[in-house]
Amino acid sequence: MYKLSSTKLIIIASALLVVFYNFAFFRNVINIYAASPANYAFMASIACVLGCFIVLLFTLIDSRYTTRPVLITVFLISSVTSYFMDSYNIIIDSTMIQNAALTDIGEVTDLLNFKLALYFLVLGVLPSVLIYKANISYAPLKQGIITKLKFIVILLVIIASQLFIFSKNYASFFREHKQARYYTNPVTYIYSVEKYIKGRLAARNVTIESVGLDARIPVEDFHRELTILVVGETARADRFSLNGYERKTNPLLEKEDVISFTNMHSCGTSTAVSVPCMFSIYSKDDYDDEKGYSKENLLDVLSHAGVNVLWRDNNSDSKGVALRVQYEDYKSPQLNTQCDTECRDVGMLHGLQEYIDAHTQDDILIVLHQMGNHGPAYYKRYPKTFERFTPVCETSQLEQCSKEQINNAYDNVILYTDYFLARVIDLLKQNSNTFETAMFYVSDHGESLGEKGVYLHGLPGFLAPEEQTHVATILWFGDNYDEIDTESVRLKADRDYSHDNIFHTVLGLMEVNTELYNRDLDIIYSDL
């Protein structure tokens, strides 16, 4: 067993983290600066400052009882975050931490592969074993405190000197290149975890405020409404042939009298943010998790008005939106009759007619939360009979696949969504003699498919590319929806809209009166 002081161990551990766990960070830095001796010197300075900052963090928690477990935990987590940043160029911010915390076992399984296991074993387990076996020496308490303070001062002097020597470079780097800074490992995810935990603790202490208690269905409204709101998953607007995509990804919807909104943008870049946001009373600019959890949402307002609300989910869950309405989990074969390698979205339609028949005297809103295009295992998201575009990427390690294979797999899922939405419309047509029927489909966010080296989704809003925010959105109305001038709606199809419009559009569809309703934000009834 080898013996070394805790300070030496921290320095060695920090150096390893900078050199072997920050490939994504330095790759982004290199992409920013042209090759020159001055820029090479600045990049070396960045490595020095990052290393000193990591050493500083570990020094602040250094003690006989904390150093070993903290370092082991950091190496294990950093090995995993390194894999995802290196492979998909994603950022581990608080939203990504939230996504990880709220994901389910099926989504986790999709991400497991040999390369991830290799990262975990080599960069996680191996250094952890070495740290566990090390004979770490600690100075006596008084001497240790004095030594630590001196060491902290030295670290701060080194950092300050580097910031001073390269002051112009750092001023530009901190101000103009935030994206690169978000790839620092483990600094970013440590900060993000702390931010996420603070937010969760704050949310636990929040009392939910009722909203829309004045919501009413007018007594003169003798028609019953049946609206199916399909919450899509990871569907980009530019992959719908309805919007001009050269591939026929919407062969069935093209035969229906649907209206596709070509410029809808999402509230967030992840399900955990976008779904609660799109149902909240807040706009994208005003929304945050604490506000979202502190107030009732669209479904609650509809319930106050007497609407029967049903949420069926083939995704991870409703992200807190459906806590106070009827909720059914269709990721299990116990309810979903259409399951093979996984349960299919179309299985959510099973038994819906019986539910509708039991509520013919009421207004009904049914929310269907799709599995849709959830990545990276796109090839799992559709039955093989929908594999029209080939060859496809048949692994979650997207870096092993060509751009063509990734796009083919993704487009096959859009093709399956086309089939699913056509089946939803068929169900609504069967009920058009009893109800005023409508389908409203909107995806929660988009997806990067390798553009500029970025994959999947979840980038912070100010960094998110168009591919992650420009989402597919469709409206369909039954023939007996007399109150709606579909042609005037069609004329507005190319306007700029966002998830901010969903709350008010659904209230308009359901013909619910409440002071919360803003006609100007209603896609259907707003003026031309």
Quote the pLDDT of residue 413.
98
Q: Please give the pLDDT value at position 231.
A: 98
Query: Looking at per-residue confidence, does 520 or 207 come out higher?
Result: 520
The DSSP symbol for 361 reads: T
Helix (H) or strand (E) holding 438: strand 436-443
- Give Cβ neighbours of residue 381 (< 8 Å, ≥ 6 apart): 342, 371, 372, 373, 374, 412, 413, 416
228 — pLDDT class (breaks 50, 70, 90): very high
Q: Which amino acid is residue 64, in one-letter code? A: R
Residue 231 phi, psi dihedral angles, 5° rounding: -90, 105
Q: Distance of CA 389 to CAs 241, 343, 381, 472, Å?
A: 14, 22, 14, 20
Q: Compute the distance between CA of residue 333 and CA of residue 244 in angstroms, rounded to an integer.
A: 37
Question: Within 13 Å, how many C-alpha atoms sit on residue 503's CB side?
Answer: 29
Please name the residue that has the structure tokens 């602040």. Answer: 60
Residue 45, helix vs strand vs coil: helix
pLDDT one-digit tens code per residue, 116-160 = 999 999 999 999 999 999 999 988 888 888 989 999 999 999 999
Q: What is the pTM of this model?
A: 0.84
Strands (E), 53-167: 135-137
Q: How is residue 278 written in tokens? A: 């799109």
The verdict on whether omega for the bond into residue 383 sits within 30 degrees of 0, i.e. cis, is: no
Residue 203 has pLDDT above 70, yes or no: no
- Over residues 33-76, the pLDDT tens digits come to 888 888 899 999 999 999 999 999 999 999 999 999 999 999 99
| DSSP state letter for 207 | P
Which domains does the chain carry?
3-203 (no CATH), 225-521 (3.40.720.10)
Is a pLDDT exceeding 80 seen at residue 343? yes
Tell me the backbone φ, ψ of residue 515, rounded to 5 degrees: -65, -15
* pLDDT per residue as tens digits for the range 350-360: 999 999 999 99
For 19, the token pair is 């050199």
Average of per-residue pLDDT across 333-359: 95
CA distances from 339 to 6, 332, 336, 382 (A): 54, 8, 7, 11
